[in-house]
Chains A and B, each alone.
Chain A
Amino acid sequence: MSIPVLDRLTFGAKSSEVSFVKKNGINNWIESQLAPTNLDPAVEKSLKQSLLRISYGESADYPAINENRPFSSHNKTTEELWPLLEAHKMPYPERVRALEELRASRLIYAAHTQWQVRELMVDFWHNHFNIHAGDLAIAVAMPTFEREVIRKNCLGNFGQMLEGVATSTPMLIYLNNRSSRTGAPNENYARELFELHTLGKGRYLNEIYSKWRQVPGAEKGKPTGYIDQDVYEAARAFTGWILEDGRGTGNGINLPKTGKFHYLDSWHDPYQKRVLAQEFDPYGAPMADGKRVISILAGHPGTAEHLCEKLCRRFVSDTPPAALVSSCTKVWIDNQNHPQQIAKVLSHLFRSPLFVQAVQSGQSKKLKRPLELAMSFVRKLDLPHSPSMQLINEISDCGQRLYYWPTPDGHPDTTDFWLTTQTIRKRWFLPLGIMDNWWGTGFITPEVLSRGIEQPIEEVSMIKDIANRLLGDDAQVTLSQLTKNFKTPNKRLLGSGQDEWNAVRRTIALLAMSPSFQWK
């Protein structure tokens, strides 16, 4: 009933996806996933029809509001939303509405999109380039960042995405480059660019500190790692990469207030620089220094390895096999300038025997992230699903803080992080809350649960069928543990009695609280 590779590459496979793969084979499905089109009717429909609650108390400037409202601002541009920064008399929930809609749209995409691999990659890149959206200026710029940088490039070319991130409003604010200027560079972005976005902290050779020639490979122009001097020089290279945020730039001149990227030549440090053993001439063309840093880093084999290891950790195992990381790294480097570089790497990864064997044999499981846990319950049972901020909050309590992970490293990608006494307890509540519509995700009627099941409905066989969909090979064992200790389900025909169906719903939710359902 379940196809492990399909479950690994989705937020839980819907029955239609299982049927497609059974008919056409997993490789056909993978290839179509890696070349998504712009069509996504289920998502469009849900975005058009869904309502999202907004509520706040009254004040001297506005009346109280508590209403369900359609999605209207999640796709607005930064320029359109930027004036909200100065709308001090407007209630705060109105000013952050675009971000709230964006967060809720992630539930819509996860539940409904046919482009599941792309959606998993959106989550991957959001973590890789993590930005905490608690600052209002970041919040209003987040929709554009997600649309124009993350979604547009998530299967594309890494170097392009990196430049998109470097010039994006949220990153320029979050890592402070917007105030970095010649004579007063701010190191924050430059440091995380090396440590998190590209080479990784494993290539930070701090013990060498200032002796750049001692970095292995440096004398040949190909250093294997970086030191603080590279960070300082890169910080100089990015001076003047700022925002139109109204700030004064000297001589009484202020930048306009649009929130858009701006290169200010007079704030750029024009002198010669040395980054990763490469000499930059003084007085380069506008933005040339920063672009060159990005290009060196995007093309560095250390970046290829760091990123491929992260991809393998995400899709294969907490401790990915070195051979797989290495073959992905080769594909990454071979496709350095290819517009679909990332899709090429994923195609190699998902079709490699090492991956397929590890996933199919059940030897290398990944713990479902809380969003995956909730959505796999919805998708595997083909439940209706409306987006809900309360569910977002529950997912956050389980450890996954969409758009609110505080530090630039993103959520860790190992079981140790995700499993604590707190989070496992909160995870148990997700299927219950969805099943009983605690959070406004939609009523689950007997008709929904018994869809496709022969009339008259017999409880034991219906639960068996559902257990198979949820748990695959582990269904029987889990069900027998429940039956033995819990005297459910009962061998009986189900009518329309409320109590009977409440018991059924409880049994289904309990199945999804099992150890087995925590894994993909």
Chain B
Amino acid sequence: MIQRRELLKAIGYTAAGGSSISNLAFASQTTAPLVVVFLRGGADSLQMAAPVDDPFYVAARNADLRILNTGPTPGIRMDKSFANGRDCRIHWACAPLNNLFQSGHAQVLHASGLENATRSHFEAQELIEANVSGNKSSVTHSTPGWLTPYLKTHTSSDFIQTIGTSGGQIRSLQGLKSSLSLTGELRYGTAIPYDAIGRAAIEAMYNNAVSNDAAMQMGREALNQLAVIEKKALRVDNRIAPYTPPAGITYNSEDGGWRNALQTVAQLIKMDVGLQAACIDFGGWDTHEYQPGRINNLIRQWASNIRALFDDLQASNKHVTILVMSEFGRRLRSNGSNGTDHGHAGAMWLFDTHNRGLLPATQWPGLGSDELDQGLDLKSTTDIKKTLAMLAKQTIALPIT
């Protein structure tokens, strides 16, 4: 068998922009992985956090497409208004997050958008996730992901640097050689055909360290990363144990994929494998039709599980920074299908167990027709790309002071 160190050298464990080599202590409790949750489809942030007494807001939408300040399900009033003098509220189903806002562990950065104010899902996602500054013509399939340059090289092989939970390519980590991908429950995600015999045979067929065959490289990477999990995971009867969150913490299981993704991340952080970043998708937010019922469900599942992950890690004395974003917000005025079409700026959400208040508050541009972007959409006052860069520099693999 080849030496693992040789293997690592050969397949090039270097992040695209990372020239510095830092020797990370994996058992260290003083770094916080950055968990990026992407709400695919363009989440209607105006139904997640809004100035509910703004007459333009009230006039533009039916009650069931708004956060309300009365009735059976009023929004939850925020202590700190993000729109000057207005009654700002988060959606009633954000209740699990409310005291994180009160304690300063949570921030909402409204009116965040791309400079290239595209209304295309795919262009907006590409611009956000690729390492570019808003100019679409410079993006190609091989443009590195936005997170890639910030990740620090590990000097040991016994690590899992990043995790993606959506099955396919993780666009934000493009260009990174070392990236674990895992869907479903962690305990089912490590088996190899024919167990030890199969591993030996597959290693034999995938042993060409200098080949540029992408399947060869990915096969070696898989064997390597899975071995780390096998070694570090909690076992019962010689099998990886099903995940049990700490007492009193319950994940919402309405969407098993969403729950599994967060629990996998929680487990990896607790395994001390040197995780620096995690990318999680939560889809279904493209609500052109029948928005009220759909978005209530989504917000409930989203808020419950963000809170569960936060509490889970805090209970285990681990730190984490969770960023939530979407490719764009939706139009202020609803359409005729009880839904909303693609808009511009939206909200980014930040949750930090270390309560660092990492990002400066954003400006609220107002919802009057002359305050809207192109007369239609919430105007962006903060460039998403700048926020991402600022956050990555302050968090990834850095000690918490």
Q: A residues within 8 Å of B by Cβ?
A: 175-176, 179-181, 183-188, 191, 195-196, 201, 204, 206-207, 209-210, 228, 231, 318, 367, 397, 399, 406-407, 409, 411-412, 414-425, 428-429, 432, 478, 481-482, 484-486, 506, 509-510, 513-515, 518-519
Chain A proximity mask over B304-319: 1 for CB below 8 Å, otherwise 0: 0000000000000000
Main secondary structure of the interface of B (DSSP, over half): loop
The reply to whether A407 and B193 form a contact with Cβ atoms under 8 Å apart is: no
Q: Which of B191, B203, B335, B342: most chain A CB closer than 10 A?
A: B335
Which chain A residue has the least Cβ–Cβ distance from B289?
A176
Contact between B335 and A191, CB atoms less than 8 A apart: no
The answer to the question of B391 belonging to the interface, with a C-beta cut-off of 8 Å to chain A, is no
**Is the beta-carbon distance between B221 and A432 smaller than 8 angstroms?**
no
Are A186 and B335 touching (Cβ within 8 A)?
yes
Question: With A424-B219, A485-B201, A513-B193 in contact, do A414 and B168 touch (Cβ < 8 Å)?
Answer: no
Expressed in whole angstroms, the minimum distance between the Cβ of A290 and any Cβ of chain B is 17
The residues of A that contact B193 with a CB separation of less than 8 Å are 428-429, 432, 509-510, 513
The answer to whether residues A179 and B337 also contact, given A206-B116, A416-B169 and a CB cut-off of 8 A, is yes
Task: Name 5 interchain pairs, CB-CB below 8 A, sorted by A.
Answer: A186-B341, A228-B119, A399-B168, A414-B141, A482-B204
Roughly how many angstroms separate A407 CA and B284 CA in the complex, as a whole number?
9
Residue of A nearest to B170 (CB): A420
Complex contact A422–B189 (CB within 8 A) = yes
Chain B residues, CB < 8 A from A478: 205
In the bound complex, how far is the Cα of B376 from the Cα of A187, in angstroms?
Answer: 14
Candidates B41, B207, B218; contact of A421 at CB < 8 Å: B218
Please indicate the chain B residues that have their CB under 8 angstroms from the CB of A406 in the complex. 40, 283-284
Contact with A along B189-229 (1 / 0, CB 8 A): 10111100110111111110001011110110110011000
A367 touches B222 (CB 8 A): no
A127 nearest CB across to chain B (Å): 13
Give chain B interface residues in 284-335, CB to chain A under 8 Å.
284, 286, 288-289, 335
Report Cα–Cα, A180/B338, bound state, in Å.
11
Q: Which residues of B contact A (CB under 8 A)?
A: 40-41, 116-123, 141, 164, 167-170, 174, 179-184, 189, 191-194, 197-198, 200-207, 211, 213-216, 218-219, 221-222, 225-226, 283-284, 286, 288-289, 335-337, 339, 341-342, 374
Minimal Cβ-Cβ distance residue in A for B211: A515
Closest approach, in angstroms, between the C-beta of A202 and any C-beta of chain B?
Answer: 9
A427 CB to nearest B CB, Å: 9
In the bound complex, do residue A204 and residue B118 qualify as a contact, i.e. CB atoms below 8 Å apart? yes
Q: Which residues of B contact A428 (CB under 8 A)?
A: 192-193, 198, 202
Given contacts A428-B192, A486-B201, contact A416 B219 (CB under 8 A): no
* Complex contact B205–A513 (CB within 8 A): yes
Whether the Cβ atoms of A482 and B205 lie closer than 8 Å is: yes
Q: By the criterion CB–CB under 8 Å, are B201 and A424 in contact?
A: no
Which chain B residue shows the least CB distance to A514?
B205
Residues A195 and B169 in contact in the complex (CB < 8 Å), given A416-B174, A422-B181, A428-B192 = no
A142 CA / B179 CA spacing, docked (Å): 37
- Pair A486/B200 contact, Cβ less than 8 Å: yes
Complex contacts, A420 vs chain B, CB 8 Å:
164, 167-170, 179, 181, 218
A412-B168, A510-B194, A515-B206 are known; give 16 further A-B pairs, CB within 8 A: A176-B289, A187-B288, A191-B120, A206-B117, A206-B118, A399-B168, A409-B122, A414-B169, A420-B167, A421-B218, A424-B219, A428-B202, A485-B203, A486-B201, A506-B197, A513-B193
- CA A155 to CA B49, docked complex, whole Å: 49
Give the residue name and chain of the B residue nearest to A415 (CB). B214
Q: Bound complex: CA of A415 vs CA of B226, how far in Å?
A: 21
Which of B120, B168, B192, B288 is the one whose CB lies under 8 Å from A425? B192
Could you tell me the distance between the alpha carbons of A428 and B215 in the complex, rounded to whole angstroms?
A: 11
Choose among B141, B167, B201 the residue that contacts A399 (Cβ–Cβ < 8 A): B167
Which residues of chain A have C-beta atoms less than 8 A from B207's C-beta?
Answer: 481
User: Contact at A515–B336, with CB atoms within 8 Å?
Assistant: no
Q: A204-B120, A407-B121, A484-B204 are in contact. Are A421 and B226 (CB under 8 A)?
A: yes
Bound complex: CA A421 to CA B374 (Å):
44
B341 to chain A minimum Cβ distance, whole angstroms, is 5
- Given known contacts A204-B120, A416-B169, A481-B205, is B374 in contact with A209 (CB within 8 Å)? yes
A206 to chain B, nearest CB (A): 5
Q: Enumerate chain B residues within 8 angstroms of A207, measured Cβ to Cβ.
A: 116
A residues near B40, Cβ cutoff 8 Å: 406-407
In order of increasing CB-CB distance, the 7 nearest A-B pairs are: A184-B336, A420-B181, A485-B204, A179-B337, A421-B222, A422-B181, A518-B215
| Chain A residues in 8 Å Cβ range of B179 | 420-421
- The docked-state distance in angstroms from the alpha carbon of A195 to that of B206 is 40
Chain A positions within 8 Å of B200 at CB level? 485-486
Q: Across the interface, do A421 and B204 meet the contact criterion of CB distance under 8 Å?
A: no
CB neighbours (8 Å) of A367 from chain B are 214-215
Residues of the A chain whose Cβ atoms lie less than 8 Å from the Cβ of B219: 424, 515
Q: Count chain A CB atoms within 10 A of each CB in B168, B203, B225, B284 and give the residue with the most.
A: B168
Q: In the docked arrangement, what's the CA distance between A210 and B286, Å?
A: 24
Q: Which residue of B lies closest to A204 (CB)?
A: B120
A421 to B219, CA, bound (A): 7
Chain B residues with CB under 8 A of A318? 141
Q: Which chain A residue shows the least CB distance to B183?
A: A422
User: With the chains together, A21 CA to B397 CA distance in Å?
Assistant: 57
Nearest chain A CB to B214 CB, angstrom units: 5
Q: Name the residue in B119, B122, B183, B201 with the highest tally of chain A Cβ atoms < 10 Å from its Cβ.
A: B201
Least distance between A176 CB and chain B CB atoms (Å)? 5
B141–A416 CB distance below 8 A: yes
Which residues of chain A come closer than 8 Å to B121, judged between CB atoms?
A: 407, 409
Q: In whole Å, how far is B280's beta carbon from the nearest beta carbon of chain A?
A: 14
| A506 to B204 alpha-carbon distance, docked (Å) | 15
Are the C-beta atoms of A206 and B119 separated by less than 8 Å? yes
> Which residues of chain A are near B226, meaning CB under 8 Å?
421, 425
Neighbouring A residues of B197 by C-beta, 8 Å: 486, 506
Q: Compute how far the CA of A292 lies from the CA of B214 in the bound complex, rounded to whole angstroms.
A: 45
How far is A367 from B217 in the complex, measured between Cα atoms in Å? 13
Interface pair A418/B168, CB less than 8 Å apart: yes
Name the A residues within 8 Å of B194 (CB-CB): 432, 506, 510
Residues in A neighbouring B283, C-beta threshold 8 A: 406-407
Shortest CB distance B179–A (Å): 7
Complex: how many Å from CA A187 to CA B284? 17
CA distance A412 to B289 in the complex (A): 26
Contacts of A510 in B (CB 8 A): 193-194, 198, 201-202, 205
State A44–B342 Cα separation when bound (angstroms).
Answer: 45
Expressed in whole angstroms, the Cα–Cα distance for A411 and B119 within the complex equals 21
Asked whether A424 and B120 contact (CB < 8 A) given A185-B335, A397-B183, A482-B205, the answer is no
- A371 to chain B minimum Cβ distance, whole angstroms, is 15
Which residues of the partner chain B approach A421 to less than 8 Å between Cβ atoms?
A: 179-182, 218, 221-222, 225-226
Q: Give complex CA distance A423, B183 in Å.
A: 9
Contacts of A509 in B (CB 8 A): 193
B145 CB to nearest A CB, Å: 11
Q: Are B218 and A419 in contact (CB under 8 A)?
A: yes
Central interface residue in A196, A428, A509, by most chain B CB within 10 Å: A428
Contact residue among A187, A196, A519 (Cβ-Cβ distance under 8 Å from B341): A187
Chain A residues whose C-beta falls within 8 Å of the C-beta of B122 in the assembled complex: 195-196, 201, 407, 409
Name the CB-closest residue of A to B165: A422
- Residues B189 and A181 in contact, CB atoms below 8 Å apart: no
**Residue pair B288, A186 in contact (C-beta under 8 Å):** yes
Q: Give every chain A residue within 8 A of B336 (Cβ-Cβ).
A: 179-181, 183-186
Given A412-B168, A432-B193, check contact A515 B335 (CB 8 Å): no
Chain B nearest CB from A165 CB (Å) reads: 18
Smallest Cβ distance from B212 to chain A, in angstroms? Answer: 11
Give every chain A residue within 8 A of B184 (Cβ-Cβ).
397
Judging by beta carbons under 8 Å apart, are A423 and B201 in contact? no
Find A423's partner among B41, B181, B192, B374 (CB 8 Å cutoff): B181
A305 CB to nearest chain B CB (Å): 16
